[in-house]
Copies of this chain bind each other. A is one copy, B any other.
Amino acid sequence: MAAVVDACQLGTGFYFQRLIEEPRSSFWPKNCSFQWLSKGFLSKPTVLKSSPLPFHGGMSYVQKKKGFHVLSPNISSPSTAVESLEAWDDEYDGVIINPESLPSSANAFASALRASLSHWKLKGKKGVWLQILEEQSDLVPIAIQEGFNYHHAESGYVMLTYWIPNEPCLLPASPSHQIGVAGFVINDKKQVLVVKEKCPCSCSGLWKLPTGYINKSEDIFDGATREVKEETGVDTIFLEMVAFRHAHLVAFETSDLLFVCMLKPLSYEITIDEKEIQDAKWMPIDELLGQPFYQEDHMSKKAIEICIAAYDNRYSGFIAHQLVSKFDGQLSYLYYDRI
């Protein structure tokens, strides 16, 4: 099942393998009934009551349904209850309000929301999802007044939820983590690709590995190669994930996971991103670790020591295998060691 796609060995004793593995076939239908389930394999579907409907503005109802399994439209027709909100049922006895159908008048919204909640309570519904787009932010205080809670927000919208049953809320918490990546790129002269960031803070001047956050819905290995390319202009491919750090309270109440990725260089010429990077170069590995910072920072030092062990073929991390889960019918990556 797990076949190495490409392998070559450089003269340095470092096995370069493209260890992102592909499945033999997409054997699971994409629109199966598991698609709405939440946490993927081995997951706890009862905890997550939401659907993965991408609710950003500008899409029609048909577009929203595309690729997703909408259980049943729960749309009140104008003749039956003019003041009810348009909504869909989800798979967990909940409802998802259509953010594009919200009345623009605050008063109309307040009465429609109240009427809809009464209706859903009678129907035994549980979680209610209400996305309010930025342009209708005057509806936010009304929803709060009706008993909604903030769930999460991103540029452009805020999501609120309401738990109807008289028992502890089982809706999932808001996302809590950012995912960062660090790229360890080493050439056959044992020189590591390092950057010096434009940084107003006290670590400025330090030569370090290129790092950054992954983009929305981006895979870890793609984020690592993209960040290295953006910051230094060097092309790479992902080999393995050698270690990760889990840190808390890094920004207000959020946490993050930073994955250290071993990347193989495919090009060597450096072109820096002048917005973020002050300088970049290939630096002998002893010189990198010889900086005073690494004598005091045990976390960074250990991570680089592990990378060196992987380079010397004394260590193996996790590689990415693309597999299909029956829970959501999606292809996604399982990271694990060679087995």
B174-A175 in contact (CB<8A): yes
Chain B residues within an 8 Å CB radius of A145: 137
- Using Cβ atoms and an 8 Å threshold, which residues of chain B touch A321? 302
> Is A72 close to B, CB under 8 A?
no
Contact assessment for B134 and A152 in the assembled complex, using a CB-CB cutoff below 8 Å: no
Q: How large is the interface on A (under 10, 10 to 19, 20 to 34, 35 or more residues)?
A: 35 or more
Contacts of A55 in B (CB 8 A): 252
A17 lies within 8 A of chain B by Cβ: no
* A92: interface (CB < 8 Å): yes
Q: Which of A74-82, A113-121, A197-205 contacts B (4 or more CB under 8 A)?
A: A197-205
- Chain B residues with CB under 8 Å of A15's CB are none
Contact A40-B258, Cβ < 8 Å, known A50-B251, A151-B155, A172-B213: yes
Q: Name which of A5-13, A262-270, A279-287, A293-301 contacts chain B.
A: A293-301
Contact A339 B309 (CB under 8 A): yes
Determine if B154 and A303 form an interchain contact, defined as CB atoms under 8 angstroms apart. no
A327 to B206, CA, bound (A): 11
**Which A residues between 42 and 99 are near B, CB-CB below 8 angstroms?**
42-48, 50-56, 91-93
Contact of A315 among B27, B211, B248, B337 (CB under 8 A): B337
**Are the CB atoms of B302 and A332 closer together than 8 Å?**
no
Once the chains are docked, how many angstroms separate the CA of A178 from the CA of B48?
11
Measured CA separation A293–B45 after assembly (Å): 15
Are A339 and B306 neighbours in the complex by a CB distance under 8 Å?
yes
Do the beta carbons of B176 and A172 come within 8 Å of each other?
A: no
Return the contact of A330 from the options B155, B247, B314, B336 (Cβ within 8 A).
B247
Contact of A252 among B50, B257, B303 (CB under 8 A): B50
Query: Is A260 an interface residue, CB under 8 A from the partner?
Result: yes
Given contacts A300-B326, A302-B1, whether A213 and B47 have CB atoms under 8 Å apart is yes
21 A-B residue pairs with Cβ-Cβ distance under 8 Å, sorted by A, are A36-B201, A38-B251, A46-B198, A47-B213, A50-B251, A52-B249, A56-B253, A93-B200, A134-B144, A137-B144, A150-B154, A150-B157, A152-B152, A152-B174, A177-B257, A243-B334, A247-B328, A250-B328, A293-B326, A300-B325, A315-B337
| Contact surface of A with B, Cβ cutoff 8 Å | 1, 23, 27-28, 33-34, 36-48, 50-56, 91-93, 131, 134, 137-138, 140-141, 144-145, 149-159, 167-168, 170, 172-180, 182, 197-203, 208-209, 211-214, 216-217, 219-220, 242-258, 260, 275-276, 293, 296-300, 302-303, 305-306, 309, 314-318, 321, 323-328, 330, 332-337, 339
